[in-house]
């Protein structure tokens, strides 16, 4: 077996495998790695990803795409230096509709991705989540907090899949000496999110740009913190290239209530939308704010993109997507007789 300390030769292109490479975050990571001279092999089965996210890479000699379910055996010719495991449904709509697939990709998919890293002597990074903290009783959430998760609730399929994936990665690290990295991702937003994603940013933007009511669950006093995708990619890359094997929170610690966020979305979009309220879903976290002390001290990382700046870029993408959908639905006009 190749050594887990394998590194690319000086002057060569490091080879990165990205599972979930056609998803929102996975496709941004693919672009980030290509821009830094990596050869990238993306793997996705399009359950929640889309070919539109990687269509711009067609013909790029440094990019290869494999359509495959990562819970199946992963066999690749040639060297692999880094495995970035991003495959998983990540929005409540997706994992509530696909609970078994979510658990399988967190367990079997992580097992296969770790097996690939072990076989190739590659470094492995797991895209974990702030959901491992559940509905936290500690605020903000440091990496040392073990969480408050309901394992049998409707969100348990996602929360426990990621918690198991972290445990499996650490078992491979301890037993097989695999160089593993664990990033706990907090709410991230940006272009390429689906209009029907279900998470708060695409939900509010889709509603506001259509002048529909913004749906706030509960009383709106629950908090979130939003990190723009380019900041996240920078933090993840720094973690992979570091010597930090402990979990690291990567997110923006600027906390905002959902009600404040709804008003901000209406303001920046110039929408005529009003705000309506619906019951809070079961086990929905009341507070979500990362303690990024470890990322600051160990990685030299902190977010750079302000919320207004990031929302501006995201709004432009969503506005174009909504216009494209409207054009696609518009019936063709009658032809004139010549």
Q: Which active-site residues does the annotation give? A: 158
CA distance 110 to 218: 34
Structure tokens at 1: 């077996």
Q: Which region holds residue 125: left if phi is over 0, alpha if psi is between -120 and 50, else beta?
A: beta
Identify which of 24, 41, 47 has the alpha carbon closest to the alpha carbon of residue 127: 24
CA distance 251 to 134: 16
CA distance 332 to 338: 17
Buried b (16+ CB within 10 A) or exposed e, 57-93: beeeeebbbeebbbbeebebeebbbbbbbbbbbbbbe
Count each helix (H run) and each strand (E run) in the chain, helices first: 10, 13
DSSP state of 246: S
Is residue 191 a contact partner of residue 201, using CB atoms and an 8 Å limit? no
User: Per DSSP, what are the bridge partners of residue 256?
Assistant: 224
User: Residue 304 CA to chain centroid, in angstroms?
Assistant: 18
Identify which of 72, 173, 184, 66 has the alpha carbon closest to the alpha carbon of residue 124: 173
């Amino acid at each position: 077996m190749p050594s887990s300390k394998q590194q690319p030769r000086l002057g060569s292109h490091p080879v990165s495998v990205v599972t979930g490479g056609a998803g929102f975050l996975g496709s941004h990571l693919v672009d980030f790695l290509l821009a830094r001279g990596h050869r990238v092999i993306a793997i996705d089965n399009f359950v929640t990803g889309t070919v539109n996210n990687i269509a711009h890479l067609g013909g790029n000699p440094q990019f290869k795409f494999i359509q495959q379910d990562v819970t199946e055996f992963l066999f690749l010719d040639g060297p692999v230096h880094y495995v970035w495991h991003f495959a998983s449904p990540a929005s409540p709509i997706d994992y509530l509709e696909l609970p078994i697939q979510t658990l399988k990709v967190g367990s079997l998919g992580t097992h296969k991705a770790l097996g690939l890293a072990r076989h190739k002597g590659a470094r492995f990074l797991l895209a974990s989540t702030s959901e491992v903290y559940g509905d936290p009783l500690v605020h903000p959430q440091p990496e040392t907090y073990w969480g408050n998760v309901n394992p049998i609730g409707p969100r348990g399929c996602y929360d426990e899949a990621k918690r198991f994936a972290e445990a499996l990665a650490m078992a491979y690290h301890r037993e097989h000496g695999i160089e593993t990295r664990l990033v706990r991702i907090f709410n991230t937003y940006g272009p390429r999110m689906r209009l029907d994603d279900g998470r708060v940013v695409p939900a509010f933007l889709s509603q506001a740009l259509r002048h529909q009511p913004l749906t706030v669950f509960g009383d709106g006093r629950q908090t979130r913190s939003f990190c723009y995708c380019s900041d996240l990619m920078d933090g993840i890359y720094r973690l992979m290239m570091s010597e930090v094997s402990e979990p690291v929170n990567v997110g923006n610690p600027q906390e905002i209530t959902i009600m404040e966020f709804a008003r901000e979305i209406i303001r920046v979009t110039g929408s005529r939308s009003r705000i309506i309220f619906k019951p809070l879903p079961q086990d929905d976290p009341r507070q979500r704010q990362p303690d990024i002390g470890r990322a600051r001290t160990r990685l030299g990382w902190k977010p750079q993109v302000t919320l207004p700046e990031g929302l501006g870029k995201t709004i432009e993408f969503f506005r174009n997507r909504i216009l494209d959908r409207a054009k696609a639905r518009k019936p063709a006009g009658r032809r004139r007789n010549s």
